[in-house]
Structure 1
Amino acid sequence: MSTQKHVLKHAGDVEGSEGLRIDEEKAEQVIDALNADLAATYVLYHQLRKHHWNVEGAEFRDLHLFLGDAAAHAEEFADELAERVQALGGVPHASPATLQEESPVEPEDEDVYDIRTSLQNDLEMYGDIIETLREHVDLAQNLGDHASAEIVRENLVQVEEDAHHVEHYLEDDTLVVNE
């Protein structure tokens, strides 16, 4: 194990990116927004994984697969966000403590709930994230960072699609009979 302790860049520092030609002040605003999205996306990811691991019942298989796919979508989006933050000259949030602290959404607690409650919690979190993503698309666009706006916009489509699937799972119509 290396004993070197040379910090290349401190968390919170923004050095700007000469190649991207985005003003450092504007880059800071976009980085803050993207880091908030990154934190929220990881909170969502872990909650979806929790539900993926704990789902039971007659619709187990479909929900298990969907929740796994939705978590994978969140993980892919988090990676894109982190890489964009780095490209803009910032430091992406990475530690679990920072991710939870900086997230604009709150995860549910450690308890395991019935799947309907779990999905309702997921839908609430998706809604909050969707609202924030829309604001951040506008922010990046207004600051002239069209690439960041596009990255968030493209992923917003997937986030909305996954939220819409959760809505479908929460509908009352089902083939399962409770007696």
Structure 2
Amino acid sequence: MKTTIIGLDEQKTEKLTISLNGLLSNFQVYYQSLRGLHWNIKGKSFFELHVKFEEFYTDSQEKIDSIAERILTLGGKPLHTFADYSENAKVPVGKDITNDVEAVSLVVKSLSELLKIERTILDESDEANDEGTNSMMSDFIAEQEKTIWMLSSWLN
């Protein structure tokens, strides 16, 4: 078995970097949707949601950087063009959303899609004995599950 400089199976690591680039693409699209929600939200929930969406996009920006750095740590190359992101993303795109319920619903749908991807990566990183990626995905999943619960409570 050929290993990477950090001692992981090279083949399994290559598979992980592809999956992580998919997650990176989805987070970039999600991030941009959050910026749009932050800028365009209107109505009685404006003050509450304007701040919340900024919190979410700031957090996403940090996650984007962590994902890209993890790809580099594994010996891969992070995707970095909007064309790549659009081609690889599965999260819904939010465009011209001003309504609070529609905006929060978009975030819930996006986080649900991110969770699916992260759980797949969690399985792959476990199989590759990659504790670094495994830990990152576990942290992302726990945080996003809680956020979905809170936003779903807001919607109801």
Would the TM-score normalized by the shorter structure come out above 0.5?
Answer: yes
Counting aligned pairs with the same residue, the percent is 23
Task: Judge conservation of contact 1:31–1:90 (CA < 8 Å) in 2.
Answer: yes
Find the partner of 1:87 among 69, 73, 77.
73
Residues 165, 52 of structure 1: alpha-carbon distance in 2 compared, 3 angstrom cutoff:
farther
- Comparing both structures, which one devotes a greater share of its residues to helix? 2
Superposition TM-score, scaled by structure 2 size: 0.91
**Residue 56 of structure 2 aligns to a residue in which SS?**
helix
Which structure has the larger Rg? 1
The Cα shift of 1:107 comes to 1.2
Superposition TM-score, scaled by structure 1 size: 0.80
Could you tell me which residue of structure 2 aligns to residue 111 of structure 1?
Answer: 96
Could you tell me which residue of structure 2 aligns to residue 54 of structure 1?
Answer: 40
Aligned length: 155
Give me the whole-angstrom Cα distance separating, in 2, the residues matched to 1:67 and 1:165: 14
Give 1:37's aligned amino acid.
Answer: L
Deviation readout 1:7-29 (Å, 9 max, x if unpaired): xxxxxxxxx97431112211111
Deviation readout 1:82-135 (Å, 9 max, x if unpaired): 000011111001111111111132313x33341211221221111111122112
Matches within 5 A, 1:138-177: 138-171=123-156
5+ unaligned residues in a row in structure 1: which ranges?
1-15, 172-179
5+ unaligned residues in a row in structure 2: which ranges?
none
Give me the whole-angstrom Cα distance separating, in 2, the residues matched to 1:138 and 1:86: 20
Give 2:24's aligned amino acid.
Answer: L
Give 1:135's aligned amino acid.
Answer: T
Could you tell me which residue of structure 1 aligns to residue 54 of structure 2?
Answer: 68
The Cα shift of 1:141 comes to 0.6
Give me the whole-angstrom Cα distance separating, in 2, the residues matched to 1:82 and 1:105: 18
Task: Judge conservation of contact 2:45–2:100 (CA < 8 Å) in 1.
Answer: no
Give 2:147's aligned amino acid.
Answer: D
Task: Judge conservation of contact 1:43–1:107 (CA < 8 Å) in 2.
Answer: yes
Give me the whole-angstrom Cα distance separating, in 2, the residues matched to 1:17 and 1:93: 23
